[in-house]
Amino acid sequence: MKTALGFAVAAIVFAVLALAPFYLDAYGIGLMIGMTGYVTLASAWGLFSGRTGYVSLATVAFFGMGAYTVAVLNETLPYPVILLVAGAIGLLVAAVVGFSTLRLAGVYFVIFTFGLAELIRQLVTWFETTVTGTLGRYIFLPIGPEHIYWQLLVLCAATLLITWWVGRSRLGLALRVISDDEVVASHIGIDIARTKLALFAVSAVIITLVGAIQAPRWTYVEPAIVFNPTVSFLTLIMALLGGASRLWGPALGAIPLFLLFEWLSANFPNHYSILLGLLFIVIVFLLPRGVAGFAEDLMRRRPGGTPAPAKPAPTPLRSEGGEARP
Amino acid sequence: MTALLSLAGLTRRFGGLTAVNALGFDIGEGEVVGLLGPNGSGKTTALNMISGALKPSGGQIVLRGEPIGGLSAHRIARKGVARTFQLVRVLPSLTVLENVLAGLAFRGEPLWGEVAQGEADVLLRKVGLEGRAGEAAEQLTYIDQKRVELARALAARPALLLLDEWLAGLNPTELRTGIDLIAHLRDTGTTILLVEHVMEAVRALCGRCIVMNAGTKIADGETSAVLREPDVVRAYLGTAHA
Ligand SMILES: Nc1ncnc2c1ncn2[C@@H]1O[C@H](COP(=O)(O)OP(=O)(O)O)[C@@H](O)[C@H]1O
Ligand SMILES: [Mg+2]
């Protein structure tokens, strides 16, 4: 019942959003494209990082690969096929990268993913300058902004749907078990590496597609534009602000922050990065569990809300023997 | 008769320390075997190798004729080896029901959806947690957490159940309940390897006992006979534990 209502509301919201190009001017549509893109990026980021605790800075690596695939293939293949190829490339790279790095713990994974984005940018730059001899590429595709927007909207809805489905699936239970206790997880038969890899791959394919779909908007593409690390940081901040592990959390963070960044970069183009950094610090400091988590806490504290579960007293009857933990 | 579980020369070293040294024994289908020994004698390390939490430094582990030594824990779990932990490990942010569903969802023949709900109800009743399905696991009392852990292990429909001091830390009434529970599992044909210090439980539950000291097996046989052996008595008297 609650699920059906949620679906109805979401369907109406997306239907209304789909009508936006009919009453917005070019600037407005551009804004909606950017916003939908970041909602999708942040949601896809949260789908993996919010549920596994692996903080990824590889967002722009996949985003850029998607855009570059379109730039390279736009004159040779039909557009839908290009999108498929982009998705396949994202999947392949995610599989290789995930397989070799998901064993890395915590901060090493963060550094690796950041390095990956830089590495891919350098590789593309090197390839373009030494092999093809041109750094930039033009994208001439007869795709209007409203079509880009609609495609992104569909991808965004699909991302939220996948996230919702994961939450109720065996995969979702596996993720919750893993985040509670990896030792227990492996001893009840969960293949931890495969579970994380599956989620990393899904998230990476979505991010790659965001880059591919947005590419025709740029007309001119070069590595420094599509592999700009700011994309990774913005995505991360948005998802964290909203609450990376919730269904709607990343969207809640992405919308206000995207608008704020637009305003900042228009009005303070020179101090934009500093303000961004400051904001990041403030967010982590004030809302460590994100807006969604903060809202839940508020609801709990309200007399009518569900009471917050009291922290249990430490169990008094622990055995003394030290256990060998693997 | 081929053994359900067969260990031969099983060894695990931690740096210079040999925690388990050339351990060998067989467990038959339906047997309940006690694994005893003073603290630090290598019992948990042995269980960790059988369940795949630790890789053996040497030796074989064979389950139903198939070598499983060194496989990853999730593979071994799916072959039907379930365990509890010396320090109880429930999944704290999950409910009692979800803890058991987790045990059903990833076993060799996974159970999910409505069938799983029904099976989980049966298991919760079996361990005495009927009507408690919705409670948060981390807020349960110690004995109830142990029940959850057992139900989760039983959810695997294990060919072999490894219990690591599952009865430790219970008060006398709870201990009675706990012993009855394991006795019921034994009577319904579950094969159990039971690491235990509580002698009352060992005598009540295990027809056979294996005793370890400093990583080595020092006795193996019928429980009351083993507990009278001079080596065993000495090993136990030599430590704070009795
Ligand atoms: N992960 C580990 N790393 C290093 N030493 C360990 C580890 N696990 C166990 N040990 C050591 O191995 C020996 C046997 O420990 P354990 O198997 O826990 O004994 P028991 O369960 O019989 O009390 C102890 O000396 C213990 O300190
Ligand atoms: Mg132990």
Residue B204 lies in a domain: yes
Q: Do A317 and B72 touch (CB under 8 A)?
A: no
Q: Do A187 and B168 touch (CB under 8 A)?
A: no
pLDDT digits (tens, 9 = 90+) for A239-269: 988 888 888 889 999 999 999 888 888 888 8
pLDDT at A310: 39
**B96 touching A (Cβ < 8 Å):** no
CATH code of residue B149:
3.40.50.300
Q: What does chain A come to in residues? A: 326
pLDDT at A102: 77
Residue B188 lies in a domain: yes
Counting one residue from chain A and one from chain B, the pairs whose CB atoms sit within 8 A come to 110
Closest ligand 1 atom, residue B12 Cα: 12
Residue B159 lies in a domain: yes
pLDDT at B240: 46
pLDDT digits (tens, 9 = 90+) for B72-107: 999 999 999 999 999 999 999 999 999 999 999 999
Q: Please work out, in degrees rounded to the nearest 5, the angle formed at the alpha carbon of residue A164 by the alpha carbons of A162 and A169.
A: 85
* Number of domains within chain B: 1
Instruction: Tell me which of A160-174, A202-216, A284-298, B48-62 is least confident.
Output: A284-298
The confidence band for A31, taking pLDDT boundaries of 50, 70 and 90, is: very high
pTM score of the predicted model? 0.85
Please give the biggest Cα pair distance in chain B: 55
Domain locations along chain A: 9-230
Closest-CA residue, ligand 1 atom 20, reads B40
Chain B: residue nearest A175 by CA? B102
A304 pLDDT more than 50: no
Residue B11 lies in a domain: no
B12 lines ligand 1 (CB under 6 A): no
Closest-CA residue, ligand 1 atom 16, reads B42
Which tokens go with A301? Answer: 């504290």
Distance from the Cα of B124 to chain A's closest Cα (Å) equals 17
pLDDT digits (tens, 9 = 90+) for A187-200: 999 999 999 999 99
Closest ligand 1 atom, residue A323 Cα: 18
Query: Rounded to 5 degrees, what are φ and ψ at A302?
Result: -65, 140
DSSP E strand stretches across B37-113: 58-63, 66-67, 81-83
A322 pLDDT more than 50: no
pLDDT digits (tens, 9 = 90+) for B188-234: 999 999 999 888 899 999 999 999 999 999 999 999 999 888 888 88
Distance between CA B29 and CA B44 in Å, rounded? 22
Residue B165 lies in a domain: yes
Distance from the Cα of A185 to chain B's closest Cα (Å) equals 8
Burial A165-193 (b: 16+ CB within 10 A, else e): ebbeebbbbbbbbbbbbeebbbbbbbbbe
Distance between CA B120 and CA B124 in Å, rounded? 6
Chain A residues whose CB is inside 8 A of the B117 CB are none
pLDDT at A291: 67
Strand order of the β-sheet with B216-222 is: B81-83, B160-164, B192-195, B32-36, B208-213, B216-222
A125 pLDDT more than 70: yes
Residue B4 lies in a domain: no
Residue B157 lies in a domain: yes
Which is higher by pLDDT, A105 or A54? A54
B29 pLDDT more than 90: yes
Percentage of chain A beyond pLDDT 90 is 54
pLDDT at B238: 61
Residue B3 lies in a domain: no
ipTM: 0.93
Q: What is the mean pLDDT of residues B159-182?
A: 92
Instruction: Tell me which of A102-106, A167-171, A318-322, B76-80 is least confident.
Output: A318-322
Provide the domain limits for residue B87. 30-52+71-241
A290 pLDDT more than 80: no
Among A170, A183, A189, beta carbon nearest to B89: A183
The confidence band for A307, taking pLDDT boundaries of 50, 70 and 90, is: very low
